[in-house]
Amino acid sequence: MEGEKLSAVRIAVREAPFRQFLGRREPSIVEFPPWGDGKSLVVEQNEFHFDHAFPSTVGQDEMYQTLILPLVEKFLQGYQCTALAYGQTGTGKSYSMGMASPDKKPEHLGVLPRCLGDILDHVSAKQENQEDTTQVYASFIEIYNEKAYDLLGSQPHVPTVASRCQSCTCLPLSSQKDLQTLLQLGTRNRRVRPTNLNASSSRSHAVVTIHARNSTFHSRMNVVDLAGSEGVRRTGNEGVARQEGVNINLGLLSINKVVMSMAAGHSVIPYRDSVLTTVLQESLTAQSFLTFLACISPHRCDLSETLSTLRFGTSAKKLRLAPMQVAR
Ligand code: ADP
Ligand code: MG
């Protein structure tokens, strides 16, 4: 990445493979035109342009190398970084972010284990060459119905104060095994509510934060797996579940608002509008790096969700983390 400046906010789209249970073979509604240069896609004559557009044939390694590795490089330089997957349930958010269970073939490994691998390689190389005391550790937080839960803590089902999540329980990470132990422990403590779309879909946001800290710096890599963004009516939920639907989108919209008010140079940034932005507060500053991965479905029956996911991505394209230049 040397010599190349990384944009502080980047947006990518990833098309999921066909879901088996729909059975029928149908062409994907998502087209990747050859003139698109790997950045454009067309859905029902609507053209979208992002930093990267990954068809379903793109594997985990390519997605990681293209989209996430530049972020890891910033993390290793001491910056606060966030990779955030959003989109409808079943479109590969958890798969992409590597939140799922460990017994996977290497080619299926997602963002988290790949990040940790590169971070640990870097730290151990530095430790061999010189006196370095960098510690690598991580926390795992769930946000459910606008409440934060410390999934690694002794009381994972009791909400914690979101602004104190920076001091949530952390476990040291010195190997992939440590990460898998952490994910298993946290996942066991998550709340799962079945919806019509996916029996084991999670209705909550998951935030795993890898920290690297020594006497001179403390950087964070937040890997965020957002709850499904599908509309409330479609998932057939009512009552408490309906309230969840509202809160699910609140987090995403609040990130937009926070970044927009920073760009506009406002003195008060609305971090407290949502628990997600409160939890991520220290990583949403003018010196941070933020990457969105919009996960979309190839199925025609999901068209309206796909379009709204892409439209959110288009609105996020306007985001700038550094304050705007004042026009002379
Ligand atoms: P979400 O978290 O968005 O609800 P998941 O990550 O659980 O979706 O993905 C749904 C299913 O599809 C999982 O079984 C997952 O392993 C599979 N899947 C998603 N994306 C891919 C992909 N690019 N390649 C292979 N399998 C995938
Ligand atoms: Mg998921």
Cβ neighbours of residue 321 under 8 Å, at least 6 residues apart?
8, 9, 259, 262, 263, 285, 286, 287, 288, 289, 290
Atom of ligand 1 nearest to the CA of 97: 6
pLDDT of residue 327: 43
Ligand 1 neighbourhood includes 55 CB (under 6 angstroms) = no
pLDDT of residue 190: 84
Does residue 41 sit in helix, strand or coil? strand
| Interval between CA 70 and ligand 1 midpoint (Å) | 24
Ligand 1 neighbourhood includes 91 CB (under 6 angstroms) = yes
| Catalytic residue IDs | 90, 92-95, 225, 228
Q: What is the ipTM of this complex?
A: 0.99
Ligand 1 neighbourhood includes 295 CB (under 6 angstroms) = yes
| Interval between CA 223 and ligand 2 midpoint (Å) | 13
- pLDDT (tens digit, 0 to 9) for every residue of the chain, 328 residues total? 344 577 899 999 999 999 876 666 788 999 999 988 899 999 999 999 999 999 999 999 999 999 999 999 999 999 999 999 999 989 999 999 999 765 678 999 999 999 999 999 999 988 887 777 899 999 999 998 889 999 999 998 899 887 777 789 999 999 999 999 999 999 888 876 555 555 445 678 999 999 999 988 899 999 999 988 776 445 555 566 656 666 667 888 899 889 888 878 888 999 999 999 999 999 998 889 999 999 999 999 999 999 999 998 998 887 776 654 444 3
Nearest partner of 240 among 195, 280, 208, judged by Cα: 195
In this structure, which residue's CA is closest to atom 19 in ligand 1? 92
Ligand 1 neighbourhood includes 94 CB (under 6 angstroms) = yes
The answer to whether residues 255 and 277 touch, using CB atoms and an 8 Å cutoff, is yes
pLDDT of residue 239: 61
